[in-house]
A and B are shown apart, each in its own frame.
Chain A
């Protein structure tokens, strides 16, 4: 594997998730290294989003272990923790069907991301002491600089619901970045984007990895994007992992081709 020299920051071992009798995930192993872009692909209904939901705490996995070990933190098990705790520990995600706060401005959406890194409470809000004011100022400034990085600074005071679709996707990434994650989980970031936007997204994701030092785990159907971006790819089908490896290996893997096309042909 290519990550032998890397420090592993997310390790998932034998993850399983059952909904009643339905086995949505079965024995899935996955690991993400530092500064690595890992893609999770598979046909529709393969369990990719369920996998995300398990990691980020929206679901409590039936079995398996999820451990995180940030570069300057200790190894920790995160299964069964609440989503907000998981986010606070440094895993941040976007959603497949955009889940912004539609009636808040773009800036406020990002400011929400800052919530878990700030602390002023009720008393602070009412009396608005110097500490609260300073914190507010920092929240606004850092949120704005994130928007600048993502390239949304022209929309600062626009309502999130009024943004074009592609920009909404980027705003979700901006919001996720605001929580200061060490691993960013992107659920189909390119869905519904045109080729031009997808190209920009490719750059953006690389930029996030290189400049912010954040690892990325993404689910994506756009194979061009996946192949060009990812260092390693994991393939799941019917809740089971069927392949893993570099884009080159995956491209020629007969099991993957079978899962996608149903028969053996040369890709």
Chain B
């Protein structure tokens, strides 16, 4: 209350050279913080109470989403409705909305990619945006010099992303935690600075413009139609990403990643090649960023280094952390929330960062596992030991 005193209460009126004392504001701040702390305490109490209850009742609490998933009757129609909604979306809503949706979907893809590195393998990567930049510039430059079209650039962007992932992976194999974060942070900045300063190569801060949008069998598409096409490509890519990440997560490699996250020494002592596992995590994570970059270049038809600042990395990281580390559905929800909310709440754009910060703090206190936390696959066994795994 007293900390806010200089800002909220005193106002110097420079025109009339007087100081205004706005005592009413002080009162409001006092009442406000009182109410807030009441709510805070109440929520904390409830959380503790919930924990106690969970301990008392012996059965493991099935998360809401999982319970929902198990009810096939409800789950399938809702999935179908969501699917239909996604398909007709660009025809119902304006171009502006479609564009917002496209960028949200790009972030879904980036989030899922980073989820492999951070959520599964537990390697804190703060330079993820570098791979995003690699993808975007790959398309821009290949198109400029060799006239490579979008469909070829997409896999090339992914492959280049993976290559850079491995390049980054090699020097940081021995690092962990904070040290890894700092090196990756540096790597991200290096890529950005190269793009900004190597004028002959990347055209510096002015960027590359007039990148063609994706075409479809040589058809001449209007601006409107090609945006819709980008939207559908993005949807397809997202579904592809979700599919692949899901498969990876439940595989031998996915398990190795999680083991690496849980305990590096034990993981190695159990016969897992640490170096290889880390490199595959970096490479596979960066692949999605590379493809996302190509999509970004195709969507905006323009790339410049300003799109690839450290801030982007942080947002993607927030998506993963907020959504729930290691959880595919969580990351999707996280991306949609973090990207769409600021767009639709433009009215509050001044307070965006404030809300962001508050949201993160509140999340960490009340749901440290993210919005939708990771659920491990359950294997079911008959008494005789014959398994039948359910997904």
Name A's B-contacting residues (CB within 8 A).
56, 58, 82-84, 87-88, 92-93, 95, 99-105, 107-108, 111-113, 115-118, 120-122, 124-126, 128, 132, 135-137, 139-141, 144-145, 148, 153, 156-157, 159, 175-176, 179
Most chain B beta-carbon contacts within 10 A, residue among A84, A148, A176: A84
With A125-B251, A145-B385 known as contacts, the answer to whether A101 contacts B258 (CB < 8 A) is yes
What is the bound-complex CA distance between A176 and B269, given in angstroms? Answer: 9
Chain B proximity of A168: nearest CB distance (Å): 12
Chain A residue contacts of B262, Cβ below 8 A: 100-104
Q: Are B273 and A84 in contact (CB under 8 A)?
A: yes
Chain A proximity of B177: nearest CB distance (Å): 17
With A101-B258, A115-B255 known as contacts, the answer to whether A126 contacts B248 (CB < 8 A) is yes
What is the bound-complex CA distance between A21 and B374, given in angstroms? Answer: 46
Chain B residue contacts of A144, Cβ below 8 A: 379, 381, 385, 387
A-B contacts, CB under 8 A, total = 130
B197 at the interface (CB under 8 A from A): no
Identify 26 residue pairs between A and B in the complex whose beta-carbon atoms are under 8 Å apart, listed by A's number.
A56-B269, A83-B269, A84-B269, A84-B271, A87-B270, A92-B270, A101-B266, A104-B255, A107-B379, A111-B255, A116-B271, A117-B271, A118-B252, A122-B253, A124-B252, A128-B251, A135-B252, A136-B252, A137-B387, A141-B386, A144-B387, A145-B385, A153-B385, A156-B381, A175-B270, A179-B270
Q: Are A116 and B270 in contact (CB under 8 A)?
A: yes
Chain A proximity of B302: nearest CB distance (Å): 33
B256 at the interface (CB under 8 A from A): yes
Chain A proximity of B115: nearest CB distance (Å): 15
7 A-B pairs with least C-beta separation? A116-B271, A125-B251, A101-B262, A87-B271, A99-B266, A83-B268, A112-B259
Q: State which size class the interface on B falls in.
A: 35 or more
Chain B residue contacts of A139, Cβ below 8 A: 252
What is the bound-complex CA distance between A108 and B272, given in angstroms? Answer: 14
Beyond known contacts A92-B270, A103-B374, A179-B270: 14 more, CB 8 A cutoff: A84-B274, A100-B262, A101-B267, A104-B255, A112-B267, A116-B270, A117-B271, A118-B252, A121-B253, A125-B247, A125-B253, A126-B244, A153-B385, A176-B270
Contacting A at CB under 8 A, from B228-264, are 244, 247-248, 251-256, 258-259, 262-263
With A104-B259, A112-B259, A122-B280 known as contacts, the answer to whether A84 contacts B376 (CB < 8 A) is no
With A126-B248, A156-B379 known as contacts, the answer to whether A115 contacts B263 (CB < 8 A) is no
Q: Are B379 and A157 in contact (CB under 8 A)?
A: yes
